[in-house]
């Protein structure tokens, strides 16, 4: 029940969106992001450095794959973040479309290049692992193809948001593409179960025990967690710059109107 | 260590792409901060 003093204006955001709208104030967002960015970056760098050194020099080689298994410590975190980043892009797009949150459209625009970068890492490192293991840099396997489609979805989003004279129309078109593209995420996840693929099934699941030796699992978890922090730091930095650039455009427009 | 010819480029790509994204973000942030300071400083005067 609303308190006696609470006044709801006709333009107030819906109840569910009010928590999000607390961060819509660009000044508040910039203050929070400025404080969080050094910490998020530092934690990410330390975890990734620990995970990579552990994975490269101290984790055991695989009895079948030899040392090529060490590519996993960069490939798997990149693959997880490629999908997680797209989920974040779709969520930001949904929030922008439904609640018109003023930072959500900018967040979607800034997540896309970072997600595309991590998907590129996933594809490149996967190819470099595939050559010695499968004898080919690329096969049209369901998992590989669906991740390539994810990469094109990211590129499509980047292109679409920049294709319009009015940024708002570009954001809206990008948001619709992002939401349609979500259908690709379960295809990526379950492609190894639904089809007979060269790509091995998941070694780590949320419901079952990992099928990986614990000496390999720990460095992988370190790099995955660290890469997640780095992904977040990159998005925070880009989003802060985008908020400032929007403010600059508004000031320049106000100045032009005044003259 | 076996497969070094594949491991090295994999790690290099995994470091170069985020480093490039970070460099780009840092430059954008620096440029935007300086421009905003100049504009808002000018407005206050």
The whole-angstrom separation of Cα A190 and Cα A23 is 35
Give the C-alpha separation, A149 to A113, whole Å.
15
| Residues linked to residue A66 through DSSP beta bridges, in sequence order | A62
Buried b (16+ CB within 10 A) or exposed e, A103-139: bbbbbbbbbbbbbbbbbbbbbbbbbbbbebbeeeeee
Does residue A250 surpass a pLDDT of 80?
Answer: yes
Stated pTM of the model: 0.89
> pLDDT-based confidence at A25, cuts 50/70/90?
confident
Identify residues of B whose CB sits under 8 angstroms from chain A CBs. Answer: 1-4, 6-7, 9-11, 13-14, 17-18, 20-22, 25-26, 28-29, 31-33, 35-36, 39-40, 43
Question: H helices within chain A, ranges in order?
Answer: 18-21, 26-53, 72-99, 104-134, 142-161, 167-181, 184-194, 214-258
pLDDT, tens only, A126-174: 999 999 999 999 999 999 999 999 999 999 999 999 999 888 899 999 9
For residue A95, the model assigns a pLDDT of: 94
Q: Which of B6, B25, B29 faces A129 most closely, judged by CB atoms?
A: B6
Residues, chain A: 259
Between A60 and A18, the more confident residue is A60
What residues have CB less than 8 Å from A133, skipping those under 6 apart?
A: A65, A68
Other Cβ atoms closer than 10 A to A86: 26
Mean pLDDT for the stretch of residues A90-109: 92
Residues of B in contact with A238 (CB under 8 A): 25, 28
pLDDT at A8 exceeding the cut of 50: no
Query: A31-64 pLDDT, tens per residue?
Result: 999 999 999 999 999 999 999 999 999 999 888 8
Looking at this predicted complex, what is its ipTM? 0.91
| Confidence check: pLDDT of A1 > 50 | no
- Which of B20, B26, B36 lies closest to A237 in CB terms? B26
Residue A19 lies in a domain: no
Query: Which residue did the predictor score with more confidence, A1 or A93?
Result: A93
From CA A150, how far away is CA A259, in angstroms rounded? 47
Tens of pLDDT, residues A192-244: 888 888 887 777 776 776 677 888 899 999 999 999 999 999 999 999 999 99
Q: Which of A47, A48, A128 to mutate to test the interface with B (most CBs of B within 10 A)?
A: A128
- What is the widest separation between alpha-carbon atoms in chain B? 65
| Residue A90 forms part of a structural domain | yes
pLDDT value at residue A9: 41
What is the pLDDT, as a whole number, of residue A40? 97
What is the separation, in whole angstroms, between the first and last Cα of chain A? 49
Q: Which residues of A touch B9 (CB under 8 A)?
A: 124, 128
Contact residues, chain B, for A233 at CB < 8 Å: 22
Q: With respect to residue A17, please indicate whether it lies within any of the assigned structural domains.
A: no
Domain for residue A11, yes or no? no
Q: Please tell me the predicted confidence (pLDDT) of residue A13.
A: 52
pLDDT at A4: 36
Residue A241 in domain: yes
% chain A with pLDDT above 90? 69
Within a domain: A78: yes
Structure confidence by residue, pLDDT tens digits, B1-45: 788 999 999 999 999 999 999 999 999 999 999 999 998 876 655
Residue from B1, B2, B6, B22 whose CB has the most chain A CBs within 10 Å, to mutate: B6
Is the Cβ pair A74, B21 closer than 8 Å?
no
Say yes or no to pLDDT of A5 above 60. Answer: no
Q: Would you say A2 and A8 are in contact if contact means Cβ atoms under 8 Å apart?
A: yes
pLDDT bin (cut points 50, 70, 90) of residue A107 is: very high
Give the DSSP H or E segment for A258: helix A214-258
DSSP B4-38: HHHHHHHHHHHHHHHHHHHHHHHHHHHHHHHHHHH
As a whole number of angstroms, the distance between CA A256 and CA A47 comes to: 48
Three-state DSSP state, A100: coil
Number of H-type helices and E-type strands within chain A: 8, 0
Token pair belonging to B1: 């260590």
A181 belongs to a structural domain: yes
- CA B41 to chain A, closest CA, distance in angstroms equals 12
Residues 152-211 of A with CB under 8 A from B: none
Residue A121 forms contact with B (CB below 8 Å): yes
Residue A188 has pLDDT above 60, yes or no: yes
Averaged pLDDT score across all residues of chain A:
88
- Count up the domains in chain A and report the number: 1
pLDDT band at A89 (very low <50, low <70, confident <90, very high): very high
Q: What per-residue confidence (pLDDT) applies to A15?
A: 54
Within-domain flag for A50: yes
- Domain encompassing residue A163: 29-202+215-258
């Amino acid at each position: 029940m609303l308190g006696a003093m609470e006044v709801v204006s006709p333009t107030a955001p819906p109840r569910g969106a009010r928590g999000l709208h607390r961060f819509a104030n660009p000044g508040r967002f910039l203050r929070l992001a400025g404080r969080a960015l050094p910490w998020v970056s530092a934690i990410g760098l330390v975890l990734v450095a620990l995970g990579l050194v552990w994975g490269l020099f101290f984790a055991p080689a695989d009895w079948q794959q030899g040392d090529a298994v060490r590519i996993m410590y960069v490939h798997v975190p990149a693959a997880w973040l490629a999908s997680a980043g797209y989920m974040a892009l779709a969520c930001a797009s949904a929030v922008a479309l439904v609640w018109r949150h003023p930072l959500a459209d900018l967040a979607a625009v800034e997540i896309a290049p970072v997600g595309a970068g991590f998907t590129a890492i996933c594809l490149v490192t996967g190819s470099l692992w595939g050559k010695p293991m499968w004898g080919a840099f690329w096969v049209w396997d369901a998992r590989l193809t669906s991740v390539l489609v994810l990469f094109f979805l990211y590129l499509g989003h980047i292109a679409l948001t920049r294709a319009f004279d009015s940024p708002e129309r570009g954001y809206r078109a990008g948001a619709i593409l992002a939401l349609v593209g979500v259908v690709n995420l379960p295809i990526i996840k379950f492609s190894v179960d639904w089809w007979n693929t060269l790509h091995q099934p998941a070694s780590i699941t949320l419901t079952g025990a990992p099928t990986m030796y614990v000496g390999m699992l720990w460095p992988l978890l370190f790099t995955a967690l660290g890469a997640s922090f780095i992904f977040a730091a990159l998005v925070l930095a880009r989003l802060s710059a985008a908020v400032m650039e929007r403010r600059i455009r508004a000031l320049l427009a106000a100045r032009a109107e005044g003259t | 260590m076996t497969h070094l010819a594949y491991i090295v480029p994999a790690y290099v790509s995994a470091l170069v792409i985020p480093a490039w994204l970070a460099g780009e973000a840092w430059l954008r942030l620096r440029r935007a901060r300086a421009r905003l300071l100049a504009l808002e400083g000018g407005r206050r005067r």
